[in-house]
Amino acid sequence: MTATTAVDPPRGIAAAPADPTYKWKAMLVSGSGIFMVTLDGGIVNVVMPSLAREFDASLTMTQWVVLGYVLAVTGLLLPAGRLADLRGRREVFLAGFAAFGLASVLCGLAPTMEVLIAARVLQGAAGALIQANGSPLIASVFPAAERGRALGLQGSVVSIGLLSGPVVGGFITQLVGWRWAFYVNAPIALVATVVGLRLLRPSPRAARQPFDLPGAILLVAAAGAVLLGVTQGSDWGWDALETLGALGAGIAATVAFVAVQRRAIAPLVDLALFRTPAFVAALGSGFMLFLTISPVILLVPFYLSLVLHLPPGEIGARLIVIPAISAAMAPVCGILADRFGVRTLAGIGATTVAAGLAALVALPDAGSTLPLVGAMALIGVGQSLFLVPNNNSIYGAAPRERYGVVGATIALNRNLAQAFGQALAGALWTVIVRAAAGGGSELDAPVAALMTGFRTVFAVGVACAVVAFIVAVVVRPSAMGGGTPRERTGGPAGGGIAPASRRPGGVA
């Protein structure tokens, strides 16, 4: 049972004179932060092959450049939101800006892969401060009648960052080297921090707001230990004491995390949400879909570099296919979800993703990139058809007063799925390629061995897409599948969770 506590009201900041342009100033600063973080994500995906060659590192080691960042964001995203309530949203957001710029410089200066990974963890911690507070910063300054449009504009900034990252990263890496792909963040962070201090007003703070530090530590420990065991298993040996110890520690930390969340005054994850089958099914199907498409993000750059021998600039141009289609499809999918319901659209989306992954299984080992672009286009369409209505159904399974917690849970679910998806894909690809090549480094393996690894991983992805389909269409409760207008527009679905104020021991 969850305990309750009295929380003091926010300590107010003296109201500033009305300024009709202030909301747009806040949009400028917030949008700069979101753009920088999403731009960096696209850049890093492109430079991965260059990093592997620069440091003569295996994929097992190289993928921690991504996993270290994702792990830090995953563990600190929810605490960062609570920290903003304690210390002020403007202050925490701008601290994230400054720290992200500094960590980016450290990434560019890294003399070894280990130092680069450590700098990426710092960058992830700073990214959590930005991601957790960008949307709330906008929502707090725009009136209710304009809030939807404002958040939509912020979504457009996300799309622009995702589209720009691969292209910018590819050309910078090709022209002046991968280190400058990190340095590019520094001037953005510096200018935006200075401008933000001048333009943004101090934020209200909540006194004595509880902070679930044990939960945050256990979440990072659980995810980190399991990811370490999965990624290093191919090097340590799957029956080695180190591998089994890491996996066992991860499981133990997970059990401890759940126990702490059950007793915490203000838990990171509201376990009461998981009592509703509709919520669990929608969240589970979303996890499976992100798990399914994560190998594409990790392995396609290596296919383009190691098999087709494309330079970084051309690799980046191919990687924009999925985010470009997703950005274009998102508004359309929202309309379709309202008309056809969650179950129908999610089923079509999962099937389309499976078709795209099946096309990746049949990729050629030479020639044009058109088959790859076509397969990624299918995945982009399917991802949008699935995720937009599925996320809407997650909100539809919860009461409106819990939407903040629900949004944070969706973000946590996505980050965990992407981290584990890439870790599992990297481990499987490494094992298959080394076995097919008869040993040695997977990055020096012959093309035939590389393709065996790619095709095996993408075939497993097809199976995962089938599981996502089953959970979304078959397991999902019928109340969420038929899609009544009330459910589709975000009202509590049948069997939804009672508001916290009406639950015994619930936190309002």
- Out of 260-269, 381-390, 464-473, the most confident range is 464-473
Give the per-residue pLDDT at 172.
87
CA dihedral over 199, 204, 208, 213, signed as positive or negative? negative
Contacts of 378 (CB under 8 A, 6+ apart): 352, 353, 355, 356, 359
Give the per-residue pLDDT at 501.
36
DSSP, res 438:
T
* H or E element in which residue 384 lies: helix 370-396
Tally of residues, the chain: 508
Contacts of 383 (CB under 8 A, 6+ apart): 289, 293, 322, 326, 349, 353
Q: Is 10 helix (H, G, I), strand (E, B) or coil?
A: strand
Does residue 212 carry a pLDDT above 80? no
Q: Taking a C-beta distance cutoff of 8 angstroms, is the pair 73, 124 a contact?
A: yes
Give the per-residue pLDDT at 401.
60
Does residue 5 carry a pLDDT above 70? no
Does residue 416 carry a pLDDT above 90? no
Q: Is 94 helix (H, G, I), strand (E, B) or coil?
A: helix
Sequence ranges of the domains in the chain: 22-206, 213-264, 274-497
Query: Do the first three CATH levels of 22-206 and 274-497 match, i.e. the same topology?
Result: yes
Lowest mean pLDDT among 57-61, 101-105, 409-413, 475-479: 475-479
Lowest mean pLDDT among 14-23, 26-35, 199-208, 348-357: 14-23
**Which pTM value belongs to this model?**
0.72
As a whole number of angstroms, the distance between CA 364 and CA 304 comes to 11
Q: Taking a C-beta distance cutoff of 8 angstroms, is the pair 85, 133 a contact?
A: no
Give the per-residue pLDDT at 412.
78
pLDDT band at residue 210 under the 50/70/90 scheme: low
Distances in whole angstroms, Cα of residue 291 to Cα of each of 58, 152, 353: 22, 26, 12
Summarize the confidence of residues 10-39 as an average pLDDT. 71
As a whole number of angstroms, the distance between CA 385 and CA 344 comes to 10
Domain 274-497, CATH class in plain words: mainly alpha
Give the per-residue pLDDT at 205.
65
Q: Taking a C-beta distance cutoff of 8 angstroms, is the pair 445, 434 a contact?
A: yes
DSSP, res 269:
S
Give the per-residue pLDDT at 200.
84
Concatenating the DSSP letter of every residue in 214-243 gives HHHHHHHHHHHHHHHHHHHHHHH-TTSHHH
As a whole number of angstroms, the distance between CA 470 and CA 472 comes to 6
Lowest mean pLDDT among 100-114, 153-167, 216-230: 153-167
Query: What CATH architecture applies to the domain 22-206?
Result: Up-down Bundle (1.20)
Q: Residue 6: what are its φ and ψ, rounded to 5°?
A: -80, 130
* H or E element in which residue 108 lies: helix 89-109
